[in-house]
Amino acid sequence: MADDASSSSGITGNTVENSINQDELIMKQQREIEKEISETIPLVGEIEELQTLEKEYNEDPIYLLKVKDLSSKYKSIRRTRPDGNCFFRAFSYAYLERLLTDKQEYDKFYEIAKNSKDILVALGFSQFTVEDFYETFMEVIQRVGEHAGSTPDLIETVRMELHDKFNKQGYSDYIVVYLRLITSGQLQTDQEFYQNFIEGPRTVTEFCRQEVEPMYKESDHIHIIALSNALKVCVRVKYMDRGEGSQVIAHDFPEGSTPLVHLLYRPGHYDILYA
């Protein structure tokens, strides 16, 4: 399906005099901003005390109350680069880190991961594009599995390697792409269900092409629901925004199971939380 031909095309937006130069300037500026962001924030950062959030919101009473609520349940946070891939990166980092200490969960996940490529190929994704990402993904997972549930020393060694890989674009982005494909595969497999979540006249396939498969496109509920269903992993997302009240609302995907991954959502961005 990823290989059929439909996609949108059209005319340029440049029908007004001089607007091209304007466009180029805007794009240049946008690229510079993106570059600046990427240079200052690691893809996945070190673990930090939750108090660092308090400093961030020093003069913001609404957020301070919410940070306080958050700190009653969580001790620390690990930040990710805000590049539109943060949900996928935060999710996979937190989950693989968790698998290091949970051999049973690892074995369950390994089977799902191993079979995922065939599902994608059966859906029409081309073998050789999927394979590239699948192989890197499995390499990272297998390394986790070698010492999952092992001694603290060995677990620590693999944890450090994992951190290193997540900060190397060559691994990290391959993992993100593969999770995007799994998410797209899940959406397309269960189109009838997911169509209800899509606003406007887009089909599930169009939505996948435009909002799921391309890099840097931000994730919404629908992405989280699909990925957690595909991998059978429960995620708790704490939503921290300017809304009323002092509580940070939690959402579990899917509801009713025990979350293994905890993420903090602030408008437009996901980070990892630790109890």
Our finding on whether 133 is near other proteins (CB under 8 A) is yes
Our finding on whether 104 is near other proteins (CB under 8 A) is no
Q: What is the DSSP string of 188-211?
A: HHTHHHHHTT--TT--HHHHIIII
Tell me how far, at minimum, the Cβ of 25 lies from other proteins, in Å.
10
- Would you give the DSSP letter of residue 268? T
- Would you give the DSSP letter of residue 239? E
Active site (annotated) includes residue 86: yes
Residue 255: CB atoms within 10 A of its CB come to: 7
- Would you give the DSSP letter of residue 219? P
The number of angstroms, rounded, from the C-alpha of 230 to the middle of its chain's C-alpha atoms is 14
Site string for other proteins, 8-47 (x = CB under 8 A): xxxxxxxx-x--xx-xx-xx--------------------
Nearer to other proteins, 157 or 210 (CB): 210
Our finding on whether 129 is near other proteins (CB under 8 A) is yes
Question: Are 211 and 221 within 8 A, CB to CB?
Answer: no
CA 231 to CA 179: how far, in whole Å? 10
Active site (annotated) includes residue 208: no
Nearer to other proteins, 33 or 160 (CB): 33
Nearer to other proteins, 20 or 33 (CB): 20
Question: Are 96 and 166 within 8 A, CB to CB?
Answer: no
Tell me how far, at minimum, the Cβ of 237 lies from other proteins, in Å.
25
Q: Which of 53, 158, 175, 177 binds other proteins (CB under 8 A)?
A: 177
Q: In the numeric block, which tokens belong to residue 200?
A: 């406007």
Indicate which residues carry an active-site annotation: 83, 86, 269
Residues lying near other proteins in the complex (CB under 8 A) are found at 2-15, 17, 20-21, 23-24, 26-27, 125-126, 128-130, 132-133, 170, 173, 177, 180-181, 209-210, 213-215
